[in-house]
Amino acid sequence: MSPPAARTLAAWELRVHLGAHPVLYPLIRGLGYLRPVQRIPGLGILVSEAGLLREVLMDNERFVKHGPSASGGLWTPVVGPKALLNMDGAEHHDMRRLLSGVFTARAVAGIVEPAAARLRGHLAREVPAGRRVDLVAAVKELSGGVIARILGLADDAPGRLPDRDLFDIGTSITSQVRLGRHALTAPQIAKARTAVGLLAGPARAAYREGNGGTFPGRLRELGMTEEEALGVVSAFVIVGTETLVSFIPRIVALLHDAGLVPELATDRSALPAAVNEGLRYTVPSPMMLRDAVAPGTLGGVRFRPGDRLLLSTVHAAKSLGGFDPARQVPGHARQLWFGAGAHFCIGMPLAMAQINSTLESLLELYAQQPWRIAARKVKRRVLIPGYDTLELARA
């Protein structure tokens, strides 16, 4: 990558982060360089070094995800106590074991491919015809199509909401979260429950129908109760919306700004390494939350039961350096953006299928009709940094 390309790439990524968190991002990065662990009044204990961050994620005896101010606990009033993302211990282990066979390659393809095909067709029609395509909007459609399959909705289901509407309902749930809030307010809980209720109807119908070809029907075959299945469905909708719509346009922008698209369009062998480095550099889950349930010391800082830990994935990953697909990420930092240990993201195959299908479509298109980024705008004041628009046009 040439020095000008590296500067352009880094400048846009900085703008993405500052657009989302103009004060908090530089503060968290600056504090991360000062000390690996430190207490921040009113927020909690900030953990910024990758090895210590992994230590917290691997220690489910002292640090839990289901605590009242941890990431899982935030969602319990919305989705109930058994939604996987807010579980720990033996119950969590048993739920993950039940779900271990759900995301096979065939099952994931069945969930993703219908929406991926629509995206592929949209790109193939619009860009060669000289019309601009907003990739952010297109990926929202993709995400909504995946949500439909998770809910058990067929493309021709009577009264089926459009993909974009399903995405908007999903993101209305996740948009309630702010890092500075330890819990959702009563109005936020009510709004999120209303959104979950809209999604629960088709999922409940698919569960009761018992068709193992649908995601809710498969959960029923695995022995889950209806409420457990609806909690799991809600969890996948919550976790998978914002992060993917943030990451996919950002990895496309990285590959474009680095000048790697022409090479990858003719030879895909370097694509997996580029995607992994893109995940490391953009950090689609920039912060994870845990609650301490036992006393101890971490990085020289004492913690007590009830302390909230802010795991700065964004600093742990970005402090390793700039975007470089040839980079060998140290073992203690590898895939931290997907978590570690018992809570490593079980939906990773589903996320990677959406990422890879979109990139493959764009690279196939480029081989036939080169494209460029014609315009872009970053999101402002949001939890997950990303682009508000990223317009592709015929080169």
What are 124-162's pLDDT values in tens digits? 999 999 999 999 999 999 999 999 999 999 888 888 889
Q: How confident is the model at residue 343 (pLDDT cuts 50, 70, 90)?
A: confident
Percent of the chain with pLDDT over 90: 59
pLDDT reported for residue 235: 80
Q: How confident is the model at residue 277 (pLDDT cuts 50, 70, 90)?
A: very high
CATH of the domain at 226: 1.10.630.10
Cβ atoms 193, 44 nearer than 8 A: no
- Tell me what the mean pLDDT of segment 329-353 comes to: 87
Q: Which two tokens stand for residue 115?
A: 């929406």
Cβ atoms 315, 273 nearer than 8 A: no
State how many domains the chain has: 1
Per-residue model confidence as pLDDT tens digits over 379-388:
998 888 999 9
pLDDT reported for residue 181: 60
Residue-number span of the structural domain to which 71 is assigned? 3-394
Within 8 A by CB and 6+ apart from 217, the residues are 152, 206, 207, 209, 210, 211
Q: What is the pTM for the complete model shown? A: 0.91
pLDDT reported for residue 176: 64
Q: Among all chains, which residue has been given the structure tokens 């993703």?
A: 112
Of 45-54, 70-79, 255-264, 265-274, which range is least confident?
A: 70-79
HSE-up of residue 80 (Cα within 13 Å, Cβ side): 17
Q: What whole-number distance in Å separates Cα of residue 6 and Cα of residue 4?
A: 5
- Tell me what the mean pLDDT of segment 189-204 comes to: 85
Of 209-223, 227-241, 266-280, which range is least confident?
A: 227-241
Q: Which of 151, 156, 267 is nearest to 202 (CA)?
A: 151
Of 153-167, 275-289, 300-314, 362-376, which range is least confident?
A: 153-167
pLDDT reported for residue 386: 95
Is pLDDT at 300 greater than 70 in this prediction? Answer: yes
Cβ atoms 129, 90 nearer than 8 A: no
Mean confidence (pLDDT) of the chain: 89
Of 47-61, 128-142, 235-249, which range is least confident?
A: 235-249
Of 12-26, 162-176, 253-267, 302-316, which range is least confident?
A: 162-176
Is pLDDT at 46 greater than 80 in this prediction? Answer: yes
C-alpha triplet 87, 104, 142: angle, nearest 5°: 85
